[in-house]
């Protein structure tokens, strides 16, 4: 039996999604959230980097099972000593990095904290396999006055929600004076936002199934991303493929995810200037995203390719 271990990550969050999509590419596999459920496994794929030691310590007691880690977490949220400890468990077992940003962070940590000999021993088992976007995200009506807040939980450190709300409010008020009514939707997950959402957002329940999720993406025209870091950034790619024009605060993870992307800002003022430029020349930028960046994203980030490579790594 092949189990994909996701820990206690709630349904719909990034690590849960990675786990379920890996399972979809391996017939007969199952996603589990409890360690005791993997004791009868022949193979375990773990997407929870911070639980590597728990899973492999369990293996010592229940017998040998084939094992693979997918580092699907935010690498910046792991203190360097904790990351090093988790990496050191992979002298024999494979660790998959699913983004170029994670690869850069891991490479820097290995170089700073470990000897050349240990780096060489680990490097044989650390591979980069880029995560990907599922099919079905495509252009829609894309109303330029309908914006989406590209997050559904309040992690102010990660998502930089105060800056996003401030920029959104400034632009909404400015455009209202100029005669354009812009509305920004924030999807609220079933377990809540974590705190009271800023009043600038129009709050809606999160779509209940993947079909509605994809259909809803096509109605939005723009998004602004202020996130300081991401485990990957898959939602932004889905929005771009749906014709939603994104303006990003320049951060290392964005530059690794979308190298050369033209709509990046260095600060709040630039975010506002670029967003207004996009709004006033919307169709030109929408076509650029769909015709130039859509094919690049699909080529770089194929979910089918990712699933097949994970399956190959465990011999399926």
8 pLDDT band, cuts 50/70/90, is confident
Per residue, the 3-state secondary structure of 63-81, as one string, reads CCCEEEEEECCCHHHCCHH
For residue 180, the model assigns a pLDDT of 98
For residue 49, tell me if it sits in a domain: yes
pLDDT of residue 118: 94
Residue 292, domain member (yes or no): yes
CA distance 36 to 3: 11
Q: Taking 80 as the threshold, does the pLDDT of residue 145 lie above it?
A: yes
- At residue 201, the pLDDT reads 94
Model confidence at 202: pLDDT above 70: yes
Q: For position 247, what pLDDT does the model report?
A: 98
- What is the pLDDT averaged over residues 213-223? 94
Residue ranges of alpha helices (H) inside the chain are 14-24, 52-62, 80-87, 100-113, 116-123, 156-159, 161-177, 210-217, 234-241, 252-257, 268-280, 282-288, 294-300, 303-313
Whether residue 157 lies inside any domain: the answer is yes
Question: What's the pLDDT at 191?
Answer: 60
pLDDT at 51: 93
**61 CB-contact burial (10 Å; exposed 0-12 / middle 13-18 / buried 19+):** exposed
User: Binning pLDDT at 50, 70 and 90, where does residue 219 land?
Assistant: very high
Query: In this structure, are 265 and 308 located in the same domain?
Result: no
Map tokens 């309040």 to a residue: 154
Cα(229)–Cα(157) distance, rounded to whole angstroms? 9
Q: Give CA–CA dist 91/122, Å, rounded.
A: 5
pLDDT above 90 for 18: yes
Look at residue 133 in the predicted model and tell me its pLDDT. Answer: 96
Which pLDDT does position 153 carry in this prediction? Answer: 61
Lowest mean pLDDT among 82-86, 129-133, 147-151, 152-156: 152-156
In a domain, 138, yes or no: no
Can you give the pLDDT at residue 76? Answer: 84
Query: For residue 15, what pLDDT is reported?
Result: 85
Q: State whether 115 and 174 are in the same domain.
A: no
Shared-domain flag, residues 124 and 148: no
Is 281 domain-assigned? yes
3-state secondary structure 125-154: CEEECCCCECCCCCCCCCEEEEEECCCCCC
Same domain? 172 vs 277: yes
CATH value at residue 277: 3.40.50.2000
Q: What CATH number has the domain bearing residue 40? A: 3.40.50
Report yes or no on 205 lying in a domain. Answer: yes
CA distance 237 to 247: 12
Q: Pull the structure tokens for residue 100.
A: 């170029």
Same domain, residue pair 125 and 205: no
Tokens at 282, concatenated: 């919307």
Question: Residue 182's CB: how many other CB atoms inside 10 A?
Answer: 20
237-260 pLDDT tens trace: 999 999 999 999 999 999 999 999
Question: Residue 34, SS3?
Answer: coil
What domain range includes position 273?
Answer: 143-300
> Considering the chain, what is the average pLDDT of its residues?
92
What is the count of structural domains for the chain? 2
CA-nearest of 47, 43, 40, 41 to 21 is 47
Instruction: Find out whether 223 and 243 touch, Cβ atoms under 8 Å.
Output: no
Are 148 and 296 found together in one domain?
A: yes
Task: Report the distance separating Cα 298 and Cα 17, nearest Å.
Answer: 18
Question: Are 33 and 180 part of one and the same domain?
Answer: no
What pLDDT does 154 receive?
Answer: 55
137 in a structural domain: no
How far from each other are the two terminal CA atoms of the chain, in whole angstroms?
12
pLDDT band at residue 192 using 50, 70 and 90 as cut-offs: low
Q: Are 148 and 49 contained in the same domain?
A: no
Flag whether pLDDT at 172 surpasses 90: yes
User: What pLDDT score does 13 carry?
Assistant: 76
């Amino acid at each position: 039996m092949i189990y994909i271990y996701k820990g206690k990550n709630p349904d719909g969050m990034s690590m849960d999604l990675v786990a379920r999509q890996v399972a979809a590419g391996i017939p007969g596999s199952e996603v589990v959230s409890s360690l005791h459920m993997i004791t009868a496994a022949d193979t375990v794929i773990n997407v929870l980097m911070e639980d590597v030691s728990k899973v492999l310590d369990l293996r010592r007691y229940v017998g040998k099972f084939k094992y693979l880690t997918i580092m699907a977490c935010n690498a910046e949220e792991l203190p360097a000593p904790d990351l090093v400890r988790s990496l050191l468990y992979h002298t024999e077992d494979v660790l998959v990095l699913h983004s170029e940003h994670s690869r850069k962070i891991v490479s820097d940590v290995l170089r700073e904290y470990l000897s050349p000999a240990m780096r060489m021993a680990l490097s044989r088992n650390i591979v980069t396999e880029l995560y990907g976007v599922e099919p079905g995200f495509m252009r829609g009506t894309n109303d330029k006055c309908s914006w989406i807040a590209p997050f559904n939980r309040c992690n102010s450190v990660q998502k930089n929600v105060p800056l996003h709300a401030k920029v959104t409010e400034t632009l909404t008020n400015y455009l209202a004076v100029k005669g354009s009514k812009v509305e920004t939707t924030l999807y609220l997950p079933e377990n809540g936002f974590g705190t009271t959402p800023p009043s600038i957002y129009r709050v809606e329940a999160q779509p209940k199934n993947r079909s509605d999720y994809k259909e809803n993406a096509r109605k939005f025209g723009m998004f602004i991303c202020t996130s300081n870091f991401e485990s990957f950034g898959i939602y932004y790619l889905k929005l771009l493929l749906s014709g939603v024009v994104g303006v990003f605060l320049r951060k290392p993870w964005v530059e690794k995810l979308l190298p050369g992307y033209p709509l990046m800002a260095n600060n709040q003022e630039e975010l506002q200037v670029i967003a207004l430029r996009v709004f006033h020349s919307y169709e030109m930028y929408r076509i650029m995203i769909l015709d130039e960046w859509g094919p690049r994203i699909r080529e770089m980030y194929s979910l089918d390719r990712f699933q097949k490579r994970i399956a190959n790594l465990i011999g399926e």
